[in-house]
Amino acid sequence: MAISPETFPTRKRRPENMASFMSPKINDLNVLCSLLQLTDQICSLNLTTTLLNRVSSSTIRKTQLLGVVFEELVRVSNLNSNSSVLFLCLEEMYIVLHNIKILIEDFSNGSKFNLLMQIETVADNFHRLTGELSTLLDVLPLQELDLNDDVRELALLVRKQGSEAKAFIGAEQISLRNDVVFVLDRIKNEIVPDQAHLASIFEKLEIRDASSCRAEIESLEEEIHNRSEEQPKTDLVALIGLVRFAKCVLYGASTPSQKTVTMRRNQSLELTIPADYRCPISLELMRDPVVVATGQTYDRASIKLWMDSGHNTCPKTGQTLSHTELIPNRVLRNMIAAWCREQRIPFKVETVTGKHNSGVTNKAALEATRMMVSFLVNKLKGNGHGKEDNDNVNVPLSVEDANGVVYELRVLAKTDSGSRACIAEAGAIPLLVRFLNAEENPSLQVNAVTTILNLSILEANKTKIMETDGALNGVAEVLISGATWEAKANAAATVFSLSGVAAHRRRLGRKTRVVSGLVGLAKTGPEGARRDALAAVLNLAADRETVARLVEGGVVGMAAEVMAAMPEEGVTILEAVVKRGGLVAVAAAYAGIKRLGAVLREGSERARESAAATLVTMCRKGGSEVVAELAAVPGVERVIWELMAVGSVRGRRKAATLLRIMRRWAAGIDGGENEGFTTTTTTMVASSTTMVVPTTTSSLAQ
């Protein structure tokens, strides 16, 4: 067999409190009370699997009998406090019983498949611990204790049972484990498992529906998370692939519970992420913050995608990176993790299968994924019940069944690059595009656009999506008239993902409905959706040709409007547009100068830095009219002086340039200049640098 049961090591749970493994430093009565409480806890444990029912039930019965002994010791209350042997035994019993409790909790609450694959090791641990209890009872000075005869006999009975017990595993469990290994080997050899055989395995493990399959997958993922870097993980990845495949083939595609949908909607619409916890590129919560050469912090996935796309500059400052090393920002990561715990948000650096894909390969898991994808895609095509049979008559799925299949693809596409590649290679993208216009079924539309979004994370899939007929138009329609805010937000996130490629960025920018959809969503959507739209706009603004279309689409006005609620995002977009948009962009941004002045005075360090950079660009390109408008902002010179003193390095530099421009304007010299411009230059304002600006009579908000 290619996979040996010995490759499945015992699960090692990371203790929440190391002190729980230490013997209690307590007096004679308290140690007995602690033992009584511990035995009660063990006896009340709920065994959720029958795999080790015999050995675990036997251990619990022994613990229950020990509880009677401890109760009697508490009742007599005449322990000889000078007996060091007695209290040493009691303290050691506490440790052994605590380890028994942890062992039962681990296998009872953990993965059934993982327990099956290392059942011999777990049984040996039970045998070892009961043997230790027997040894301690042998040392315990029972003759010195004033115990009832029946209780003393109970203690002797437990001691005898523990010393004579043998590690026991039933032949049925061994056979079941061999069946699992056999199925994994067949999948590895690209042979589709027999459904009846697969159903028999899952029935014996008491995994009987899609919900229990999801719980098993989560348990396996937790097992991987709990393993150290030195421990192999490929075995568990293979098991996850097997359970996913069986979930779809045996129990059918499923949709998320209403509770999950409501929780996701509430998080996307109501949760406000602190600005310092959001990546400047994606505007999403950072999961793995890293510092680049310029000192700026980004989420690892976002900055790596930026660098892999051929950029060698810092996205925020525009400075050339002296090196591409990414330094983990562990302090910020710990702060984000703590905040996520407070908000009850799951926090993972990356998904389990993502780690597998980046470093560990597993043939069985990959083939199981391919089989599952083939099954789901064929169901979407209406090919029978998902079987690859060309003789089957195409039977269209009901909307409910289609929604279940698309949801399964959505979940799978979120896991790892291998799954995304399999889904795209199976021809799922054109099928998903058909459901983008499903306004009558909001859930189906959300699942379809989110699946496309997840697929677009893989670089190779971006081109496939862009080349699929109707894909861009479908995403644009969802962006404009999606049935839910979640659908619109994920459509915007799809545009952001696709625009990571320069050629795609230009093509997306040429689509008027994409631009208008992003602008509209940024203006009227809930905060989460607005951030997705702003991130996409910022990506599109990286291309000079696209910026002109963004300006035509009203992005400048939108950025100025957004500035009141989200100053960092609004100013960053305005900076990018003005930098690459020429005089037309400057003219469009003219009315927002006072808003920029307000951000310069009251914004965060990052927002003030971007505001200063934007104003410098506008003053250079726009000439004296722009400088005059800026100079009219009350207290602006004092604010610039303050930024020069306490701002970031880039902020101080831009503030100094801005102050120099304003002073030259006040002296009647051209307000537009290049950084490093010497004071000996006396070029006056030329008509060619003068811009026609709108006349403003209203007082803008500060």
Give the mean pLDDT of 380-409.
Answer: 70
Phi-psi region of 295 (alpha: psi -120 to 50; beta: other; left: phi over 0): left
Q: What is the model's pLDDT at position 361?
A: 54
Which of 64-73, 613-622, 670-679 bottoms out in mean pLDDT, i.e. has the lowest? 670-679
**487 band by pLDDT with thresholds 50, 70 and 90:** very high
Predicted local distance difference test score (pLDDT) of residue 422: 92
pLDDT in tens, 568-601: 888 888 888 888 887 888 888 888 888 898 888 8
**What does the alpha-carbon distance between residue 451 and residue 469 come to, in Å, rounded to a whole number?**
17
Task: Check if the beta carbon of residue 444 is closer than 8 Å to that of residue 255.
Answer: no
CB 494 within 8 A of CB 449: yes
pLDDT of residue 197: 92
| 75: CB partners within 8 A, 6+ apart | none
Per-residue pLDDT at 268:
47
| pLDDT for residue 674 | 40
Residue type at 22? Answer: M
Here the tokens at position 291 are 């510092």
Place of tokens 């910022």: 538
Q: Which residues pair with 291 in a beta bridge?
A: 297, 327
Average pLDDT in the 519-526 region? 91
User: Is 54 within 8 Å of 168 (Cβ atoms)?
Assistant: yes
What is d(CA 151, CA 147) in angstroms, rounded to the nearest whole number?
6
pLDDT digits (tens, 9 = 90+) for 188-215: 888 888 989 999 999 988 888 888 888 8
Least confident of 50-59, 439-448, 511-520: 50-59
Q: Which of 387, 451, 68, 109 is nearest to 255 (CA)?
A: 451
C-beta atoms surrounding 571 within 10 Å = 31
Write the CATH number of the domain with boundaries 274-341.
Answer: 3.30.40.10
Across the range 351-357, mean pLDDT stands at 39
- The CA distance from 461 to 455, in Å, is 6
Check pLDDT > 60 for residue 693: no
Here the tokens at position 265 are 């909607």
β pairing state of 289-291 and 327-328: antiparallel
Q: Tens digits of per-residue pLDDT, 243-286? A: 989 888 888 766 655 545 554 554 444 456 777 788 877 767 88
Let me know: does 605 contact 587? Beta carbons within 8 Å: no
Spatial distance between the Cα atoms of 97 and 60, rounded to a whole number of angstroms? 10
Buried-state track 118-150, b at ≥16 Cβ within 10 A, e below 16 = bbbbbbebbbebbebbbbbbeebebeebebeee
224: confidence class by pLDDT, cuts 50, 70, 90: confident
Per-residue confidence (pLDDT) for residue 294, from 0 to 100 = 86
For strand 297-299 and strand 327-328, is the pairing parallel, antiparallel, or unpaired? unpaired
Residues 6 or more apart whose CB falls under 8 angstroms from that of 354 comprise: 415, 416, 417
User: CA nearest 255: which of 379, 401, 404, 373?
Assistant: 404
Measured CA to CA, the distance from residue 421 to residue 438 in angstroms comes to: 25
- Whether residue 126 contacts residue 55, with contact meaning beta carbons closer than 8 Å, is answered with yes
Q: Phi, psi (5° rounding) for residue 79?
A: -65, 145
Scan for tokens 């022994």, then name that residue.
62
In this structure, how many other beta carbons lie within 10 angstroms of the beta carbon of residue 449?
A: 32
In the structure encoding, which two tokens stand for residue 12, read together? Answer: 């090692």
Scan for tokens 């090919």, then name that residue. 383
pLDDT value, residue 164: 78
pLDDT one-digit tens code per residue, 456-471: 988 889 999 999 999 9
Least confident range from 134-148, 474-488, 660-674: namely 660-674
The pLDDT score that the predictor gives to residue 260 is 52
Per mean pLDDT, which of 202-211, 413-422, 426-435, 674-683 is the most reliable? 426-435
- 287 with 349: CB under 8 angstroms? yes
Please report how the helices 417-425 and 442-456 are oriented relative to each other, as an axis angle in degrees rounded to 10: 110
* Predicted pLDDT of residue 200: 92
Dump the DSSP string for 95-141: HHHHHHHHHHHHHHHS-HHHHHHTHHHHHHHHHHHHHHHHHHHHHS-
Question: What integer pLDDT is reported at residue 344 of this predicted model?
Answer: 67
The pLDDT tens digits for 491-510 are 999 998 898 888 898 899 88
Please determine, for residue 41, whether its predicted confidence score (pLDDT) is greater than 70: yes
Nearest CA to 93 out of 154, 143, 31 is that of: 31
Structure confidence at residue 476 (pLDDT): 93
Distance CA 419, CA 413 (A): 6
- Residue 162 confidence (pLDDT) above 70: yes
Q: Any idea what the Cα angle at residue 316 is, between residues 310 and 322, rounded to 5°?
A: 55
pLDDT band for position 434 (cuts 50, 70, 90): very high
Q: Side chain identity at 542, as an amino acid letter?
A: A
Q: What's the rounded Cα separation, in Å, for the pair 116 and 173?
A: 7
Q: What is the DSSP string of 381-401?
A: TTBTTS---TTSPB-PPPHHH
The three-state secondary structure class of 499 is coil
pLDDT recorded at residue 31: 81
315 versus 360: the higher-pLDDT residue is: 315
Residue 441 CA, distance from chain mean position: 27
| Domain ranges, ordered by start, for the chain | 26-168, 274-341, 586-667
Residues 6+ apart with CB under 8 A from 351: 221, 414, 415, 416
pLDDT category of residue 388 using cuts at 50, 70 and 90? very low
**All residues at 6 or more sequence positions from 28 whose CB lies less than 8 Å from its CB, including other chains:** 79, 81, 87
Q: What is the mean pLDDT of residues 385-402?
A: 62
Q: Report the predicted TM-score, pTM, of the whole model to 2 decimal places.
A: 0.72
Q: Cα dist. 607→411, 427, 600 in Å? A: 36, 44, 7
Question: Which whole-number Å values give the CA distances from 417 to 265, 351, 361, 427, in the listed order?
Answer: 26, 11, 12, 16
Task: Pick the closest to residue 491 from 513, 458, 463 (CA basis).
Answer: 513
Cα dihedral 169, 174, 180, 183 in deg (nearest 10): 180
- Phi, psi of 142, rounded to the nearest 5 degrees: -65, -35
Q: State yes or no: pLDDT of 348 exceeds 70.
A: no
Mean of pLDDT values over 284-301: 87
Which residue reads 């992003």 in tokens?
518
Question: Which pLDDT score, from 0 to 100, does residue 214 have?
Answer: 87
Q: State mean pLDDT over 367-381.
A: 89
Most confident of 56-60, 225-229, 356-360, 696-700: 56-60
pLDDT number for residue 24? 42
Q: What is the pLDDT of residue 423?
A: 93
Name which of 482, 535, 536 is nearest 511 in CA terms. 536
Choose the most confident range, by mean pLDDT, from 101-105, 346-350, 431-435, 582-586: 431-435
Tell me what percent of the residues of the chain surpass a pLDDT of 70. 81
Average pLDDT, the chain: 79
What confidence tens digit (pLDDT) does each residue in 597-655 have?
888 888 888 889 989 999 999 998 888 888 998 888 888 899 999 999 888 888 899 99
pLDDT-based confidence at residue 15 (cuts at 50, 70, 90)? very low
The region of weakest confidence among 123-137, 200-214, 322-336, 378-392 is: 378-392
Return the DSSP state at 23: P
